[in-house]
């Protein structure tokens, strides 16, 4: 999963062309058997998070009580229906992300954001540890305008907590989700299928003060 690819995001004009046809997946979560594809149960919410390599990131969230289902994929770029290989070139503009569907009566967005911040180093720009490239950047893509104030509050509070420890500033990208493209089947719930597989999650050790 190591990459020495582009640290610069492409433009819409320079990004890879992609394709009209989505990558085909089974749609069934390997761990809990639920559908990774919409529609989801009424009242459930969605958030898309990127914190480096999506293998370990997905496991972090599928293990959390109140999370209904997860899926890994690509978001934040220009290329429609990209492949993993294309995303890793840095020429699609996408980040590796986890689509999290959750029941807000069991777990709130602040709890998910706390796990997000504490599981990685959001100060590193276009990398996460030894994983280097724009696809590994830290991102939060909201799916509801009501999510944005909670995300901004958590961003500001964790940025302050990191600065107090002289660990730098948060570089996490925050934006409304434009499109989520499912990754290939073998990436879905990868660490459940390959327990000894690579997991690059490594936090800063700084607790998130989100309330």
| Tens-place pLDDT, residues 103-141 | 999 999 999 999 999 999 999 999 999 999 999 999 999
Angstrom distance (rounded) from CA 152 to CA 211: 13
| Tens-place pLDDT, residues 5-55 | 568 999 999 999 999 999 999 999 999 999 999 999 999 999 999 999 999
| Tens-place pLDDT, residues 144-189 | 999 999 999 999 999 999 999 999 999 999 999 999 999 999 999 9
What the chain holds in terms of domains, given with CATH numbers, is 45-193 (3.30.1060.10)
Angstrom distance (rounded) from CA 197 to CA 12: 34
**Does the predicted TM-score (pTM) go above 0.85?**
yes
197 half-sphere exposure, CB direction, 13 A CA radius: 18
Q: Which residues lie closer than 8 Å to 60 by C-beta, 6 or more apart?
A: 115, 119, 201
For residue 192, which of 30, 64, 65 has the smallest C-alpha distance?
30
Angstrom distance (rounded) from CA 150 to CA 138: 17
Helices (H), the chain: 54-62, 84-88, 109-118, 147-164, 190-193
List active site positions: 53
Residue 5: the pLDDT is 56
Q: How far apart are the first and last CA of the chain?
A: 34
Angstrom distance (rounded) from CA 194 to CA 183: 16
Angstrom distance (rounded) from CA 47 to CA 61: 11
Residue 209: the pLDDT is 87
- Quick one: CA dihedral 149, 152, 156, 157, positive or negative? positive
Angstrom distance (rounded) from CA 211 to CA 204: 19
């Amino acid at each position: 999963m190591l990459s020495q690819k582009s640290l610069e995001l492409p433009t819409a004009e320079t990004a890879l062309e992609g394709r009209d046809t989505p990558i085909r997946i089974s749609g069934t979560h390997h761990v809990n058997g639920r559908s990774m594809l919409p529609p989801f149960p009424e009242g459930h919410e969605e958030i898309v998070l990127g914190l480096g390599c999506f293998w370990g990131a997905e496991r972090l969230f599928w293990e959390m009580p109140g999370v209904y289902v997860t899926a890994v994929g690509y978001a934040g770029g220009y290329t429609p229906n990209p492949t993993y290989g294309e995303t890793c070139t840095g020429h699609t503009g996408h980040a590796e992300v986890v689509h999290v569907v959750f029941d807000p009566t069991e777990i709130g967005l602040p709890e998910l954001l706390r796990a997000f911040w504490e599981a990685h180093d959001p100060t590193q720009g276009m990398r996460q540890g030894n994983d280097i490239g724009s696809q590994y950047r830290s991102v939060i893509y909201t799916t509801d305008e009501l999510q944005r104030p909670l995300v901004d509050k958590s961003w500001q509070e964790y940025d302050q907590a990191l600065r107090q420890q002289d660990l730098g500033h948060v570089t996490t990208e925050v934006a409304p989700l434009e499109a989520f493209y499912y990754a290939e089947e073998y990436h879905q719930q990868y660490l459940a299928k390959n327990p000894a597989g690579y997991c690059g999650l490594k936090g800063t050790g700084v607790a998130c003060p989100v309330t």
